[in-house]
Amino acid sequence: MATTSSTPTPFSVDAERLGELGAVFRGALVTPTDPGYDDLRRLDNAAIDRRPALIIRCTGPADVVDGVNLARTTGAPLAIRSGGHHVGGHGSVDDGIVLDLRDMKGVWVDPANLTVRVQGGATWGQVDRETQAFGLAVPGGIVSTTGVGGLTLGGGVGWLVRKWGLSCDSLLSARIVLASGEVVTASATEHADLFWAIRGGGGNFGVAVDLTFRAHPLGPEIAAAFVLHPLAGSEGVLRGWRDLAVDAPDEVTSRAMLWTMADDDTAPPPARGRDVLIIGAVYAGDASRGREALAPYRALGEPLVDMSDMLGDYRFLQYALDGDDTPVHSYWKSLYLDRLDDEALSFVYARALERPDPRILVHLPAMGGACGRVGAADTAFGDRSAPFMLSVDGMTEDAARLPEVRAWVRATVEAARGLDGAGGTYLNFVGDDASDRQVVDQQYGANLGRLREVKRTYDPDNLFRINNNILPA
Ligand SMILES: Cc1cc2nc3c(=O)[nH]c(=O)nc-3n(C[C@H](O)[C@H](O)[C@H](O)COP(=O)(O)OP(=O)(O)OC[C@H]3O[C@@H](n4cnc5c(N)ncnc54)[C@H](O)[C@@H]3O)c2cc1C
């Protein structure tokens, strides 16, 4: 019954059909001849240039239902776009329909019940704006412009991961538009199989028109450490950070980032244009206790600049790593590390010194804590026992250099797979534009069979396949 191997039907709309559809949808319908089409189809990754036949700027669940029905009945390839951050470009599709959720960005905080309902097209910056007004936070990522939809359904690793787990661990329920056009609520008590699957299974099962999260008391004042060291000679600092990170309490989530700062006024003067090792850490709790807990992260070596005191506000921290508007061509890959021994650190450090483009970020987020205590079968996300991730975020401003960057990222991650305790991959960081069946299947591991059953129940014909695709059983 599944149409997974069938050739997609290119979709097109003539003026007459567009007029008919225009009477149905509340949101704008945008085709390649419309002004604004190029802006709307643009994804975060400048290397991906997709030309959908129709972009539907959904204003609410009704537009999503009709958009899903349109794709299903016409056989058009269908992509769901929220923040547009997927590095492999899963937020768009050539010659098909894009349901653009960006106008669905409502956020409603219920401070009495510590919950927040978020529409499926909101970004984390929009969520933080509303939740912080009540001194609350939902674990998101580390930049403000990433979509809540894609990040949460694929897991979600951010500054609060050790205290409150992945973003999907704070999800209480979601309203999902299924491939049939039906709208259902998925929670622990309704469609529990679907609720299990969307916590890590990505956009495979339908469109999340809204997501309700548990919100946690945090901020606006927080304690953070953000210290920039010269990359040259910083291997000892890296080891010092690792020693702190392995013994950290759940309140402290930290990361090491090996990078090159921009040579302009977006970087603090001593670090402009310099190769750096950034040690970042956040304390998810009382700010004054946090300043004490984070002091050792600020005392590692002689830094170029210590920006910790500037980042004592949760929202400001969430913006601190946002890029500028320069188009960047990206290719990312990652793996998990069960241990970060000296050999692994030396490998990471040596590779960082050899990056073929200054934009490439070599990133070691600490995980573990609450995240690591959730069982592999409890959510579709699967095994999250590794205390560290290595993410090699290949980026360049020069399109011509992308093949070299891509090859370097692949070689680095391939070599890292030989490290003791290396394994798995974070599917939200997969940069390949077509999902790699083997990588996806392997990552879901023992959960794959159950995921395929749930896929068959809710999307038997694989309408939602522009993602890290799970085939229906
Ligand atoms: C600059 C940058 C920073 C990042 N930082 C982090 C980070 O700190 N932590 C982290 O965990 N990840 C991070 N990511 C990765 C991120 O989680 C993934 O790229 C994720 O897919 C982005 O979601 P999106 O909604 O922005 O993407 P989109 O490209 O819009 O969508 C990605 C996928 O999610 C599906 N999807 C999106 N919204 C919905 C919805 N409402 N319902 C159903 N399916 C949906 C789409 O179908 C598509 O398959 C980052 C990526 C970038 C480029």
Ligand 1, residue 43: give the atom nearest the CA.
Answer: 29
Do 237 and 361 lie in a common domain?
yes
Cβ–ligand 1 contact at 173 (below 6 Å): no
Task: Among 392, 410, 429, give the residue marking a domain's end.
Answer: 429
A 10 A CB-CB count for 456 gives 17
Task: Among 72, 100, 128, give the residue marking a domain's end.
Answer: 100
**For residue 339, pLDDT beyond 80:** yes
Ligand 1, residue 176: give the atom nearest the CA.
Answer: 42
Ligand 1, residue 146: give the atom nearest the CA.
Answer: 26
In a domain, 45, yes or no: yes
Residue span of the structural domain in which 418 resides: 223-429
In a domain, 453, yes or no: no
Task: Among 100, 117, 150, give the residue marking a domain's end.
Answer: 100
Distance, CA 198 to ligand 1 centroid (Å)? Answer: 13
From 47, 25, 3, 148, select the one nearest 359 (Cα to Cα).
Answer: 47
Contact 418, 348 (CB under 8 A): no
Q: What secondary structure letter does DSSP report for 285?
A: S
Distance, CA 79 to ligand 1 centroid (Å)? Answer: 13
Query: In this predicted model, what pLDDT tens digit does every residue of 290-329 receive, in sequence order?
Result: 999 999 999 999 999 999 998 889 999 998 888 888 999 9
Rounded CA gap, 107 and 126, in Å? 7
Query: In this predicted model, what pLDDT tens digit does every residue of 15-51 receive, in sequence order?
Result: 999 999 999 999 999 999 999 999 999 999 999 999 9
In a domain, 469, yes or no: no
Cβ–ligand 1 contact at 208 (below 6 Å): yes
In a domain, 454, yes or no: no
Residue with tokens 């050999």: 343
Lowest-confidence segment of 1-15, 95-109, 349-363, 380-394 by average pLDDT: 1-15
Rounded CA gap, 148 and 124, in Å? 6
Whose CA is closest to atom 33 on ligand 1? 150
From 75, 172, 179, select the one nearest 455 (Cα to Cα).
Answer: 179
Mean pLDDT of the chain: 95
Whole-number pLDDT of residue 340: 96
Do 265 and 390 lie in a common domain?
yes
Lowest-confidence segment of 7-11, 154-158, 195-199, 227-231 by average pLDDT: 7-11
In a domain, 262, yes or no: yes
In a domain, 125, yes or no: yes
Distance, CA 139 to ligand 1 centroid (Å)? Answer: 14
Whole-number pLDDT of residue 306: 97
- Domain tally for the chain? 3
Query: Can you count the helices (H) and strands (E) in the chain?
Result: 14, 19
Ligand 1, residue 330: give the atom nearest the CA.
Answer: 53
In a domain, 155, yes or no: yes
Do 209 and 246 lie in a common domain?
no
**pLDDT band for position 286 (cuts 50, 70, 90):** very high
Q: Check which CATH number belongs to the domain holding 251 and give it.
A: 3.40.462.20
**For residue 2, pLDDT beyond 60:** no
Whose CA is closest to atom 46 on ligand 1? 80
Do 134 and 276 lie in a common domain?
no
Do 210 and 229 lie in a common domain?
no
Query: In this predicted model, what pLDDT tens digit does every residue of 177-222 receive, in sequence order?
Result: 999 999 999 999 999 999 999 999 999 999 999 999 999 999 999 9
Rounded CA gap, 58 and 209, in Å? 10
Rounded CA gap, 398 and 438, in Å? 30
Rounded CA gap, 365 and 158, in Å? 8
Whole-number pLDDT of residue 323: 81
Contact 402, 327 (CB under 8 A): no
